[in-house]
Amino acid sequence: MTPSEKLPGRLVVLDHPLVQHKLTRLRQSTTSTAGFRRLAREISLLMAYEATRDLPLEEVEIETPLERTTGRLLSGKKLCFVSILRAGNGILDGMLDLVPAARVGHVGLYRDHVTLEPVQYYLKLPDDMGERLCIVVDPMLATGHSAIAAVDRLKAAGARQISFVCLLAAPEGVERFHARHPDVKLITAAIDRELDSNGYIRPGLGDAGDRLFGTK
């Protein structure tokens, strides 16, 4: 049984042709830093379309150049993107292109390469998290530890409506994440084969942060 079969409605794998095309380009080792950064921004904008699908709307009266009519606008619900530093910023930029008025939070986590556990070094969130629709972004869901830690901190701050968006996920990470946070919707472009002994997603796309920022 696949992770999506175990978690109907809580796991969305985007199979849109443009998403899959850009993801394949991201995976290629020959893609330059500039190209990787551009593709990540483009694919994140497409993923934001899915992540914001359930935003509430309200009817309003407007004047077109020809007549008065009724349209729909986003209701007063507050939206917040939360980036898991540092690689999450590569996804954040494209989402802000689509929703520039959204508030932004940051969770600074790095993975201890021995224990594979997340270590927090920074946390800054908007006020009134309990009133916000929160979308957490990070390119990879590998072991799931960082994603779990980030959502733990959002819930501790009062957040109640949370989604998690990533480019790639490993089956082990999906299972661990939803065991801890079964209420959080997970949106990804692909679920890869497995984690290797070092906790990297295979076939994966390498270290997303290094490829985004040109570091080793």
Looking only at the bridges linking them, the beta strands covering 57-63 and 103-111 are unpaired
Output the CA torsion sign for 43, 211, 174, 102: negative
Catalytic site includes residue 111: yes
Q: Is 111 annotated as a binding residue?
A: yes
Q: Which position among 25, 38, 103, 111 bears the catalytic label?
A: 111
d(C-alpha 90, C-alpha 95), whole Å = 10
pTM: 0.89
Report which of 162, 172, 112 is spatially closest to residue 140, judged by C-alpha positions: 172
Q: What is the pLDDT of residue 110?
A: 79
- 112 annotated active-site: no
Rounded to a whole number of angstroms, the distance between the first and last alpha carbons of the chain is: 37
143 is in an annotated binding site: yes
Annotated catalytic residue within 25, 93, 180, 207: 207
Dist. CA 78–CA 90, nearest whole Å: 22
Q: Is 159 labelled as part of a ligand binding site?
A: no
State which CATH number among 3.90.1150.10, 2.60.200.20, 3.40.30.10, 3.40.50.2020 fits the domain covering 3-204. Answer: 3.40.50.2020
139 is in an annotated binding site: yes
Question: In the chain, what are the domain boundaries?
Answer: 3-204
AA letter at 201:
I
Tell me, what's the pLDDT at 122?
94
In the chain, what are the helix, strand and coil shares in percent, each to the nearest 5?
Answer: 35, 30, 35
Residue-level pLDDT at 9: 62
93 belongs to the catalytic site: no
Out of 33, 69, 115, 215, the active site residue is 115
Instruction: Identify the residue whose tokens are 């530093």.
Output: 85
pLDDT given for residue 4 in this prediction: 41
Q: What is the pLDDT along the chain (216 residues), one digit of tens a residue?
A: 444 444 556 899 999 999 999 999 999 999 999 999 999 999 999 999 999 988 889 999 999 999 999 999 988 768 999 999 989 999 999 999 999 989 999 999 877 777 767 788 999 999 889 889 999 999 999 999 999 999 999 999 999 999 999 999 999 999 999 999 999 999 999 999 999 988 899 999 999 989 999 887
Q: Is 152 a catalytic residue?
A: no
- How far apart are alpha carbons 71 and 135 in whole angstroms? 26
What is the pLDDT, as a whole number, of residue 14? 95
Q: Residue 146 annotated as binding? A: yes
- Which candidate in 127, 183, 210, 215 is catalytic? 210
Place of tokens 């009266």: 61
Please tell me the predicted confidence (pLDDT) of residue 77: 66
100 is in an annotated binding site: no
